Amino acid sequence: MKTMRILRRLAQWTVFAIFAFLFLNTEYKDNDVLPYAVNLFLRLDPLVAGAATLAGRAIIGLVWPALVVALLTVALGRFFCGWFCPLGAVIDVADATVFRKARRKDAVPVSWRRYKFLILFFLAASSLFTLQWVFLFDPISILIRTFTVSVFPALNLVLHQIFDGLYRAPGSIPRVSEPVYGLLKAHFLAFEQPVFRTSAIVGLLFLGILVAERYQRRFWCRNLCPLGGLLALMGRFGLFRRRITEAGCTRCGLCEADCRMGAIGGDVAVTDHGECIECMDCQAICPEEVIHFSGKEGRRPAAVDLTRRGVLASAALGAVTVPFFRVEAHGKAPDPLLIRPPGALSEGEFLARCTRCGECMRVCIANGLQPTWFEAGLEGMWSPILVSRIGYCEYNCTLCGQVCPTGAIRRLPLQEKRKVKLGLAYVDRSRCLPWAGQSDCIVCEEHCPTWSKAIVLKEERTLTPRGDWKMFMKPYIDEDLCVGCGICETKCPLTDRAAVLVTSRGETRSTGVLAR
Amino acid sequence: MMTGGCPFSRRRFLQAAGGAAGALAASALFPSVLRAAGEKTVDVGVSSAAGPAERARGAVALVGGMKAFVSRGDVVVLKPNIGWDRTPEQAANTDPEFVVAVAEMCLSAGAGSVRVFDRTCNDPRRCYVSSGIKGAVEQFARKNRVGDALRIYHVEDRKFVRTSIPNALSIKEWDLYRDALEADKIVNLPIAKHHSLAGITLGLKNMMGIMGGNRGQIHYRLSECLVDLHRRVPVALTVIDAGRVLLRNGPSGGNLADVKSFGMAFASRDVVAVDGIAAEKIFRLSPRDVGHIGKAMESGLGVSSGAQIRIVEG
C-alpha cells in the first residue's frame, strides 16, 4: 500500500524540479521574450489570485490557472499542500534532514492551527478594502522572493568564491575545476552576481519558517499558512478522504503519531479533512492496511476549532487596519525616489496587485529592480523600486512586464515600453565634473539610450576651482525625451552619489498618459 | 573628489607632467633619433569593396595579408566593438560579417585559437545578441566545424589582472583583461563613429574594451590613458569597419538618420596611422585635431606624421 506515498513523493520532487527550472529560467537568455511561463506557480495560487482580484477590483486574466487549483481542491481536498506546494517540499526536506531527530512532543498547542484561518480572514477583509497584505504570508510569494533576493544570490556568491579560488590555484587544479565551472555558469549560476536590499532579513524570515520545524512538523503549514487555510476550507468536503475500515484497526496509534499535519485527532478513525494534506503516510505505514483514501465518508471530522468571535475579530481587524494605512503621509507626498518598473499600474492599483514575489527583480537584466523598505510605506514593503545607482532599466528590455503574475506591471510591447517615463533625470551641477569645472566627462550622454539623446552636451565657458575660465562640455537634460531609465545615474563615474540622478517626477503611470 | 584611481592626485600629475616634459626635452635634444625611428613608412590599406566581408579581406590583403600578422599556432584576440545594445544598422558596433571575415582570415593564416570578446556598456548579453556578432561568429564556427578554435565569450571579472604600465603618462596601473595580456596577437576591429568626448572613435579608443574598473574615470584624461593602454598592450593589426558610419550622437547612437554609408575599410599594423587616415577620409578631420590621435602621434606610439604613411588603395 506504499504506492500512493511513492507517487506523492515523486510529485513533490517533480514539482520542485519544475519550480527550480522556471526559477533558473527567469533570466534573459539571449531571447527578448522568455520562452517559458516562469510565473506559473504564482498564477496557480488561489490566495494570490483572490487577493489581487479583490484588492485590485479587476478580473485578472493571467491568474486563470488558480481557478483550476481551486476546483481541484474542492474535488480532491487539500492535496496541494502535500503533493504540490514547493515550500511544503522544502519544509519536508528540512524535516527529513536537519530536524530528523528533533524531539517535539506537543510543543505547540493544537489550537494554534486556527491562526492560519484568522490570518486568512484578516487578509480577505483587508483585501476587500483594497489593502493587499497577502505577500507577507503567501507561501509561493515567500519562496520565490526568498530565493530571488536571498538564497540564490548567496549561493551564487559562495560558488563563485570557490571556483574563483580554484581558478587561481596552482598546478592542474583549474584544468579540473574550470569545466565544472563552465557547466555551472551555463546552467545554474547568475550571469552577474545579483545583489538585493533586504536580502539578509528576507533570508532570516525564511529560516524562521524552517526552524519552526524543530517544534512541530509542518509548523508553518498547520498554523500559519493562509493558503493552507483557504485550501482547507475549500477541500473540507473533497471526494478524496481518509477512511478506516474499523473492523481491522487495532488502534495502535501509529497513524496518529506519524501524521505530519496532526490531522488525525482523538480517535484514529477521525480525520480533520481540512487539515489532511493527503500525503498518504498513514496509508503506507498502517500495519493492518485498513486505511484508505476514497470518496466514501469516514467518521465525521472534528469541527474546525474556529470561534465565531475569532473569525469576526480577525476580519474586522483586517478591515479596520485599512484607513490607518491610507492616512500615511506618503500618499500625499510620495518618496521622490520611488521609481516603479516600466508598465507599472498607478500606485494604488499597483500595490493592490503586487504580490512581492520578486519575479521582476529576478528577471531585471541590470539588477536595478530592488525590494523597497519603506519608500512606499509599510504597505508597499518589498514591492519593486528601480534603484538606479545599483542598476538601470535597459531601454530594449521588456522582461519585468512578462513575468508579473498579476499584471501589476503590464506586459508592454517594446515600442510602447520605450515611451514609458519612469521619472526624469536631473544634473547635480555642484558635483557634475564639467559643471563644477573639474574635468571633462561625457559618460551620461554617451550612455543615454533614447534616439534623440535626452542628455545633450553644450560646450560652455566654466570657472574652474583654480579661478580660470575653461571650456567644458556640460550635460543638459531634455525632459521631453528623458524616460528616466537611470543609466546615466548608474554609469556616472563619481564613485559615491551620482551627479546625475533620477526622481519620479514626470512619471507617466499615474496619469496613464504615455509620453511622446 | 574621487577615491582610488583618481588620475588627478598631485603625485600622478607631477609624474605625468614630468614625463611629458621629459619627452619634449628628448625630442628637442635628439630630434635625429626620433626621425630615424619614424623614417620607415607604414602601409595603410583602404578598401572600398562591395560588402563588409570583402572590404575586410581587401584591406588586409593590401597590407600584406593576414599571414604577415598572424603566425601558425598563435592565440589571437579579436577585439570588435560590441559595446552597445544596438543592431548592425544602427552602426554602434562592428559589423558582424566584418568580424567573421577577419576571424576566418586569422584561422586561414594558421591561428591556433581566435577569441572574440568586448567589455560592453549595456548588458553584455543584449549587446552580444543585438549586435549580431555572437550569432554570426557562432554560426560560422558551427558551419565550418571550428568551434574549438573560434570562440566568442563574455568578459568575466575574475579575469582582470591589475597590470602596471611602465612610464605611463596617466595610468600607472589598471585592471586589464588576462586573455588580451596573454594573447600572441591582438587584432583590433573598431567601427568608425562619432564620439561625443573623443570627437571620433577608431582603433585607439576601441581597445578600452580590454580595460576593467571604472572606465568612466578614464574620460578625465582620455588621450593620455589611451597612449598608456596601447604601450602596454600593443595590437598587431587594426582593421577599421567604416561601412556604415555613425556621424552624430555617438558612440551609442540609435537613430538611423545619423548613420551614413561609406562602404570603406582601413587596415594597418600601426593603429595611429590607420586612425589618422580614417579620420581624414571619413570625418574630414586632420588627425592632429583629434585629441587622442594627436596625442598618440606626439608620444611616438606610432607614426608621428602623415609623411610616414603610404596609402594603398584597392
Write out pLDDT tens, residues A124-180. Answer: 999 999 999 999 999 999 999 999 999 999 999 999 999 999 999 999 999 999 999
In this prediction, residue B32 carries a pLDDT of: 38
Question: Do B154 and B20 belong to one domain?
Answer: no
Residues of B in contact with A492 (CB under 8 A): 216
Question: Do B102 and B148 belong to one domain?
Answer: yes
Nearest-CA distance from B84 to chain A in Å? 9
Specify if B253 maps to a domain. Answer: yes
Give the span between the Cα atoms of A229 and A240, in whole angstroms: 18
Average pLDDT (B94-111) is 98
- A449-461 confidence digits (pLDDT tens): 998 999 999 999 9
In this prediction, residue A188 carries a pLDDT of: 95
Look at the alpha carbons of A258, A259, A264, A268 in this order and tell me if their dihedral is positive or negative.
negative
- B237-287 confidence digits (pLDDT tens): 999 999 999 999 989 999 999 999 999 999 999 999 999 999 999 999 999
Q: What is the pTM of this model?
A: 0.91
Quote the domain boundaries for residue B259: 41-313
Q: Find the residue in B nearest to A166 (Cα).
A: B158
- Contact call for A28 and B252, based on CB within 8 A: no
Residues of A in contact with B8 (CB under 8 A): 439
- Contact call for A446 and B197, based on CB within 8 A: yes
Specify if B2 maps to a domain. Answer: no
Specify if B291 maps to a domain. Answer: yes
Nearest-CA distance from B177 to chain A in Å? 15
Pairing, β B191-195 against β B199-201: antiparallel
DSSP letter string over A67-92? HHHHHHHHHH-SHIIIII-HHHHHHH
Give the span between the Cα atoms of A272 and A249, in whole angstroms: 18
DSSP letter at A130 equals T
* Chain CA centroid to CA A268, Å: 39
In this prediction, residue A448 carries a pLDDT of: 96
Q: Find the residue in B nearest to A487 (Cα).
A: B122
Helix (H, G, I), strand (E, B) or coil at B199: strand
Contact A364, A403 (CB under 8 A): no
A102-116, B69-83, B128-142, B196-210: least confident range? A102-116
Same fold? A239-303, A424-503: yes
Nearest-CA distance from A91 to chain B in Å? 36
- Contact call for B216 and A492, based on CB within 8 A: yes
CATH for A338-417?
A: 3.30.70
- B13-36 confidence digits (pLDDT tens): 444 444 444 444 434 333 334 444
Q: Is the minimum CB–CB distance between A476 and chain B shorter than 8 Å?
A: no
* A443 closest CB neighbour out of B85, B154, B219: B219
- Contact call for A473 and B8, based on CB within 8 A: no
- Contact call for B126 and A167, based on CB within 8 A: no
Question: Do B30 and B160 belong to one domain?
Answer: no
Nearest-CA distance from A32 to chain B in Å? 9
| Cβ atoms within 10 Å of B44's Cβ, excluding its own | 28
Question: Do B16 and B109 belong to one domain?
Answer: no
Mutate: best of B252, B256, B292, B295, partner A, most A CBs <10 A: B252
Nearest-CA distance from B220 to chain A in Å? 5
- A234-278 confidence digits (pLDDT tens): 988 888 888 888 888 999 999 999 999 999 877 888 888 889 999
What's the mean per-residue pLDDT of chain A?
A: 93
CA A137 vs CA A143, A404, B256: distances in Å: 10, 18, 50
Q: Is the minimum CB–CB distance between A9 and chain B shorter than 8 Å?
A: no
Mutate: best of B93, B122, B152, B224, partner A, most A CBs <10 A: B122
- Contact call for B123 and A451, based on CB within 8 A: no
Q: Find the residue in A nearest to B3 (Cα).
A: A495
Look at the alpha carbons of A254, A259, A265, A268 in this order and tell me if their dihedral is positive or negative.
negative
| Exposure class string for B214-251: b at 16+ Cβ within 10 A, else e | bbbbbbbbbbbbbbbbbbbbebbbbbbbbbbbbbebbb
Give the span between the Cα atoms of A49 and A43, in whole angstroms: 7
Residues of B in contact with A493 (CB under 8 A): 2, 214, 216-217, 219
Look at the alpha carbons of A442, B122, B231, B108 in this order and tell me if their dihedral is positive or negative.
negative
Query: Residues A52, A58, A61, A62: what is their CA dihedral angle, to the nearest 10 degrees?
Result: -30
- Provide the chain A residues 259-318 that lie in CB contact (below 8 A) with chain B: none
Question: Do B154 and B231 belong to one domain?
Answer: yes
Give the model's confidence band at A376: pLDDT under 50 very low, under 70 low, under 90 confident, else very high.
Answer: very high
- Contact call for A441 and B220, based on CB within 8 A: yes
- Contact call for B8 and A439, based on CB within 8 A: yes
Contact B75, B66 (CB under 8 A): no
- Contact call for B122 and A439, based on CB within 8 A: no
Specify if B1 maps to a domain. Answer: no
Burial label for A305, CB within 10 Å (0-12, 13-18, 19+), is middle
Q: Is the minimum CB–CB distance between A464 and chain B shorter than 8 Å?
A: no
Give the span between the Cα atoms of A513 and B191, in whole angstroms: 39
Question: Do B142 and B23 belong to one domain?
Answer: no
Question: Do B31 and B84 belong to one domain?
Answer: no
Residues of B in contact with A451 (CB under 8 A): 254-255
* Grid cell for residue B277: 587616415
Mutate: best of A451, A452, A473, A496, partner B, most B CBs <10 A: A451
- Contact call for A493 and B216, based on CB within 8 A: yes
Q: Is the minimum CB–CB distance between A459 and chain B shorter than 8 Å?
A: no
How big is chain B by its Cα radius of gyration, in Å?
19
Pairing, β B191-195 against β B237-246: parallel
- A457-495 confidence digits (pLDDT tens): 999 999 999 999 999 999 999 999 999 999 999 999 999
Nearest-CA distance from A503 to chain B in Å? 21
* A167 closest CB neighbour out of B158, B250, B254: B158
Give the span between the Cα atoms of B242 and B247, in whole angstroms: 11
Residue % of chain A over a pLDDT of 90: 83
Helices assigned H by DSSP within B30-110: 31-38, 52-62, 96-108
- Which residue type occupies A156? N
The complex's ipTM works out to 0.91
> Given a cut of 50, is residue B310 above it in pLDDT?
yes
How big is chain A by its Cα radius of gyration, in Å?
27
Instruction: Find out if CATH 3.30.70.20 is the number for domain A239-303.
Output: yes
| Cβ atoms within 10 Å of B298's Cβ, excluding its own | 16
- B40-60 confidence digits (pLDDT tens): 799 999 999 999 999 999 999
- B158-202 confidence digits (pLDDT tens): 999 999 998 889 899 999 999 999 999 999 999 999 998 888 999
Question: Do B237 and B287 belong to one domain?
Answer: yes
In this prediction, residue A297 carries a pLDDT of: 66
For chain A, what percentages of helix, strand and coil (3-state, to nearest 5) are there? 45, 10, 45
Question: Do B15 and B52 belong to one domain?
Answer: no
Q: The domain spanning residue B82 has which CATH number?
A: 3.40.50
Nearest-CA distance from B53 to chain A in Å? 25
Question: Do B113 and B206 belong to one domain?
Answer: yes
Give the span between the Cα atoms of B166 and B173, in whole angstroms: 8
- Contact call for B123 and A397, based on CB within 8 A: yes
Question: Do B33 and B109 belong to one domain?
Answer: no
Q: Is the minimum CB–CB distance between A390 and chain B shorter than 8 Å?
A: no
Give the model's confidence band at A107: pLDDT under 50 very low, under 70 low, under 90 confident, else very high.
Answer: confident
Q: Is the minimum CB–CB distance between A446 and chain B shorter than 8 Å?
A: yes
* A446 closest CB neighbour out of B154, B214, B251: B251
Mutate: best of B13, B87, B125, partner A, most A CBs <10 A: B125
Q: Find the residue in B nearest to A395 (Cα).
A: B85
- Contact call for A438 and B1, based on CB within 8 A: yes
Q: Find the residue in A nearest to B219 (Cα).
A: A441
Give the model's confidence band at B145: pLDDT under 50 very low, under 70 low, under 90 confident, else very high.
Answer: very high
Helices assigned H by DSSP within A129-151: 139-146
For residue A474, give the H/E element and its range: strand A469-477
Give the residue extent of every domain in chain A: 239-303, 338-417, 424-503
- Contact call for A442 and B196, based on CB within 8 A: yes
> Given a cut of 80, is residue B217 above it in pLDDT?
no
Helices assigned H by DSSP within A237-330: 254-258, 281-285, 308-326
Residues 6+ apart with CB under 8 A from B133: B80, B82, B93, B94, B96, B99, B116, B152
Residues linked to residue A409 through DSSP beta bridges, in sequence order? A344
In this prediction, residue B17 carries a pLDDT of: 44
Residues of B in contact with A491 (CB under 8 A): 121, 216
- Work out the end-to-end distance of chain B between its first and last CA atoms, rounded to an integer number of angstroms: 51
Interface of B with A (CB under 8 A): 1-4, 8, 85, 121-126, 128-130, 134, 154, 158, 195-197, 214, 216-217, 219-222, 249-252, 254-255
- Contact call for A451 and B254, based on CB within 8 A: yes
Give the span between the Cα atoms of A22 and A305, in whole angstroms: 38
Look at the alpha carbons of B64, B67, B68, B69 in this order and tell me if their dihedral is positive or negative.
positive
- Contact call for B196 and A395, based on CB within 8 A: no
Instruction: Give the count of domains, chain B.
Output: 2
Question: Do B19 and B160 belong to one domain?
Answer: no
- Contact call for A449 and B134, based on CB within 8 A: no
Residues 6+ apart with CB under 8 A from B240: B189, B190, B191, B192, B202, B203, B265, B266, B267, B274, B275, B278
Residues linked to residue B242 through DSSP beta bridges, in sequence order? B264
Residues linked to residue A461 through DSSP beta bridges, in sequence order? A471
Residue A41 dihedral angles phi and psi, to the nearest 5°: -65, -35
Helices assigned H by DSSP within A169-249: 173-187, 199-211, 219, 226-235
Nearest-CA distance from B136 to chain A in Å? 14
> Given a cut of 90, is residue B235 above it in pLDDT?
yes
Q: Find the residue in A nearest to B1 (Cα).
A: A494
Specify if B12 maps to a domain. Answer: yes
Instruction: Find out if CATH 3.30.70 is the number for domain A424-503.
Output: yes
Nearest-CA distance from A426 to chain B in Å? 19
Helix (H, G, I), strand (E, B) or coil at B21: helix
Contact A481, A450 (CB under 8 A): yes
> Given a cut of 90, is residue A394 above it in pLDDT?
yes
In this prediction, residue B9 carries a pLDDT of: 43
